[in-house]
Amino acid sequence: MDLTDRIAALSNANRLQILAWLRDPLAHFGPEHPVDEAEGVCGLYIAEKLGVTPATASVHLKVLTAAGFVRPLRIGKFTYFKRVEAAFADLSREIADL
């Protein structure tokens, strides 16, 4: 993905909210939604917290994955998502180099 595509991925309030939650998942997903720091947060928990259907959350998560901001991990029938912190540093450097 080029720079404009990655910036476009950040131009949606729901996707920004997901990224904010994934920055500190233990603080945002309580005991009713167990979080494994190594695996990430289940996409179903993200959908529930966002107040959207799993299909809608999946679309947002696919955009964030394609842009490199999150990485998915499939475990059984569930997919877990974790922020890729290096992607934000890379984006910042690219913008600074303009």
pLDDT tens digits, 63-77: 999 999 999 999 999
Strand partners of residue 72: 81
Token readout for 77 is 């029938």
The total number of residues written for the chain in this structure: 98
User: What's the token pair of residue 15?
Assistant: 């996707």
Summarize pLDDT for 13-39 with one digit per residue, the tens.
999 999 999 999 999 997 778 787 789
Domain count, the chain: 1
CATH code of the domain covering residue 9: 1.10.10.10
The range of the structural domain enclosing residue 82 comes to 3-96
Backbone dihedral angles phi then psi of residue 10, each to the nearest 5 degrees: -90, 0
Helix, strand, coil percentages (3-state) for the chain, rounded to 5, are 55, 15, 30
For the entire predicted model, the pTM comes to: 0.92
